[in-house]
Structure 1
Amino acid sequence: MTGPHIDEEPAEHRRFDRYLQALETVAEADETNLVAAVLCDDDATMADSAVGRHLDRRAADLLTDPQFASWARTMTAVIADRDFLIRRLREWTLLRTIALGKPWAAEELTGASDWFQRMAATTQIVTSPEALRLLTERGRTRRVRNAASRRLQHPDESGRC
């Protein structure tokens, strides 16, 4: 194919990259406004994806930090009408709950997304034998069940597949 626009990256790809870069470097005080601005983009799928990556990065960074709860409440208010983002933040909160040894329900773990179950089965931050046993027995995918089983058998290993 030839033509003047073949080698050009689509505009939404450029915006997505700019959003990711801005979200990566945003000051804590400006984070809420930037997330809200990104979510105003006409391409809702692209905006959700950029904000989703940001939530994943920030939640992982704050997972055991006492500031996590406040940050999660603030983000919940900003993403309130975005079902995927709300679910992802709720699952990060569940991951934190399990990692900190706080009470959780089996239904939360078994009803969570494949992404969450994979994270819980493979991340070293989750050391709960109860959670790993439940994932070994009732994880949605073979990959999750095997990873959880390995973690139970070899708790000191990385847990990566």
Structure 2
Amino acid sequence: MTGPHIDQEPAEHRRFARYLQALEAVAEADEAELVAAVLRDQDATMADSAVGRHLDSRAAHLLTSQAFTAWAQTMAEIIAERDFLTRRLREWSLLRSIVLGEPWATEDLTTATDWFQRTAATTQIVTAPDALRLLAEHGRTRRVRNAASRRLRQLEQPS
């Protein structure tokens, strides 16, 4: 189907695509400024979504790097007024703590979002038996509990 209106994307879709492209290509030195600029967009939901994707990508890339802490602090200042983004960044920091064997609180894991619990239960980088056991027993969804149980069995199998 074609026609005069079918081929036209709404302006926010074009901006979203441009933001994703710019965030993917941004130099480290310019990242904070660009994230702040995106968050000033008139469509807060679209801006949060673009920045959320960027946070997920960068956090996953930096997860075990020493640079993660400074990056997370910078991002936390920029996104402080955005509840979803703040929670997502906090959960990436929790995942980092689990992966690196740093202290974490049981309550943080059991009250985390479905996204976090699913990510922690399924990602191969999480090898902490105590975290996986907690998710296997107290994960919010059956999917999380089953995935955590599978990961525990994989870890317990002799190599």
Given the two structures, how large is their TM-score scaled by the length of structure 2?
0.95
Unaligned runs of 5+ in 1: none
Matched letter for residue 130 of structure 2: E
Q: Deviations over 1:54-75 (max 9, x none)?
A: 0000000000000100000000
- State the one-letter code of the partner of 1:106: T
Matched residue of 1:149: which SS? Answer: helix
Q: Which runs of 5 or more structure 2 residues have no equivalent in the other structure? A: none
List structure 1 segments (4+ residues) > 4 angstroms apart after TM superposition: none
- Counterpart residue number, 1:75: 75
Q: Distance in 1 between matches of 2:76 and 2:152?
A: 33
C-alpha displacement of 1:2: 7.3
Give the Å deviation of 1:156.
Answer: 8.4
Identity %: 76
Which residue of structure 1 lines up, in the alignment, with residue 113 of structure 2? 113
Match runs of 1:1-161 below 5 Å: 4-155=4-155
Q: Give the letter aligned to residue 105 of structure 1.
A: A
Equivalences, count: 157
Q: Which AA in structure 2 matches 1:73?
A: Q
Bigger helix share: 2
1:116-150 Cα shifts (integer Å, max 9, x gaps): 00010001111000000000000000100000000
Deviation at 1:3, TM superposition (A): 5.0
Q: CA 1:132/1:8 → structure 2, altered by over 3 Å: closer, same or farther?
A: same
Larger deviation, residues 3-12 vs 27-36: 3-12
| Cα displacement string for residues 67-124 of structure 1 (whole angstroms, at most 9, x for unaligned residues) | 1000000000000100000000000000000000011111000000000000100011
TM-score when normalising by structure 1: 0.94
CA distance in 2, matches of 1:127, 1:2: 51
Query: 1:61 & 1:3 partners in 2: Cα distance?
Result: 42
Indicate the RMSD between aligned Cα atoms, in angstroms. 1.4
